[in-house]
A and B are shown apart, each in its own frame.
Chain A
């Protein structure tokens, strides 16, 4: 008998379409798995049981009427708790937002996933106000890595990593400001898509850094990422940053192979400050892809610094009233960075945004020579949940601020990235970033799909 909690989303939809199972059976299997395992994984903060059952029943009824089912019919998904879910408080990982009224309307991306047939299971744990790379949370408990529960999931989309890698949802949605989809995807052994900045609507999600906030999916297969992306993409007047045109679907393009693609490997900044596991993973994929062209992102260390400052300043400005009135209710690991951010001079911010424009124009020249390039996703495999520091290039550094050193310069200029999961030489998952030109999600997805088809990726559900 098939365990639907271990199945890819597209295969679940296919089985429902073929009458091999029902959406209701799939959802009940997931609700049971959540009841059994959520306490130890810290994935969900709220399970929308009745809504999920009603939606699953509607999918089954549509099939019984002979209607053509949409591509994600009956596929269980869940969202980071900064997405608005009608009737539920949007926590954004905080204690303070528990005093807010429940959301009245769903986030645009939830509406679009449901329009494609997917079934919402609930809201997922996250680092407070998304200012986090660890998946730790003082209010709801820490997310735990399904592959080793003594280890962190990565964050801030920690629950999104735990749920997808723990078999508690086929697809999860997260957000990524500096790496918050790609870090948990790497540490939990998942495929993750951080699309081009502005490509998916952020309407009705709790913001962090408007200049850098992206939303996107995590899943256990490339096809699931692509199906979710196609379901969610398109213009939305409720998000002024969102693209104004409807992009071509990526699903028909992902299995077209690597013909004609020039793939490079990031050097310099991306070859320092990591553990051997991170670099070996990149080397393994580069060798398989015959990717030999070195790609240099000039001044990447300055880009990381500028992203760091923009994050501090916009985060501090967003939360300054809450810092004044409710400082004691913040997670201590987050609060004092926001305090400092609120105090920084305007010159830092403006110059960081000017540098961002320069860095973008320089980096885009890379795509005259390659269509995509590889880089590590995280400097190491998952640290222990309570581990405060790790050693990179002989320096002892804080884990919290440095898990995103390889993701930050990329999201700084909004390039699309697919994180591809491998099994590292130490037996834990680790990801490699496949980075493409703006608006070329299909290129990164094609490369990821080719690696998946060749058996070069490793994406398993964590042990029970």
Chain B
């Protein structure tokens, strides 16, 4: 069974991996924002799209500046 998402543990792990200075003072607020993001993301993650669906920004090599 998958454990429920723990934003505090996730924040600690990611802070370590990304060398971000997570302290007691900002730990709760970062975790709160992560929890919000993980609550919102399923709204579009669960929406069915084809594998071929193109992301909105498309790089155009022909329009690149010289």
Contacts and interface: CB of A to CB of B under 8 A. Distances in A.
Interface of A: 211, 237, 240, 244, 299, 301-302, 305-306, 308-309, 312, 320, 323-324, 327, 332, 335-337, 339-344, 347-348, 350-358, 360, 401
A301 B18 CA distance: 31
A312 B37 contact: yes
Given A211-B57, A358-B49, A324 B20 contact: yes
Given A309-B37, A340-B37, A351-B45, A237 B56 contact: no
A354 B33 contact: no
A308 B34 CA distance: 12
Given A348-B37, A353-B56, A305 B30 contact: no
B20 A357 contact: no
A337 B37 CA distance: 10
Interface of B: 10-11, 14-15, 18-22, 26, 29-30, 32-34, 36-37, 40-41, 43-45, 47, 49, 53-57, 63-65
A249 B28 CA distance: 51
A308 B19 CA distance: 24
A310 B10 CA distance: 19
Contacts of B41: 305, 309, 344, 348, 351-352
Contacts of A340: 11, 30, 33-34, 36-37
Given A305-B43, A312-B37, A356 B11 contact: no
Contacts of B29: 332, 336
Given A309-B37, A358-B49, A342 B57 contact: no
Contact of B14 (A240, A309, A343): A343
Contacts of A341: 33, 37
B54 A327 contact: no
A240 to B, nearest CB: 7
B20 A339 contact: yes
Nearest to A197: B56
Contact of A343 (B11, B26, B56): B11
Given A240-B65, A343-B18, A357 B47 contact: no
Given A312-B37, A342-B20, A357 B55 contact: yes
Contact of A353 (B11, B30, B57): B57
B31 to A, nearest CB: 8
Contact of A356 (B26, B32, B36, B56): B56
A335 B26 contact: yes
A357 B18 contact: no
B44 A302 contact: yes
Given A240-B65, A342-B18, 7 more contacts: A299-B47, A302-B47, A336-B33, A341-B37, A343-B15, A352-B41, A356-B56
A306 B10 CA distance: 21
Which one of A244, A332, A337 has the highest number of Cβ atoms from chain B below 10 Å of its Cβ? Answer: A337
Contact of B33 (A244, A302, A337, A352): A337
Given A342-B18, A352-B44, A360 B37 contact: no
Contacts of A323: 20-21
Given A299-B47, A340-B34, A308 B10 contact: no
Contact of A357 (B10, B19, B30, B56): B56
A335 B23 CA distance: 13
A347 B45 contact: yes
B16 to A, nearest CB: 11
Contacts of B36: 340, 401
Nearest to B51: A354
Nearest 9 pairs of A and B residues by beta carbon: A340-B33, A353-B55, A336-B29, A343-B14, A356-B56, A305-B43, A305-B40, A355-B44, A354-B53
A356 B55 contact: yes
Contacts of A339: 11, 15, 20, 22, 26, 30, 33
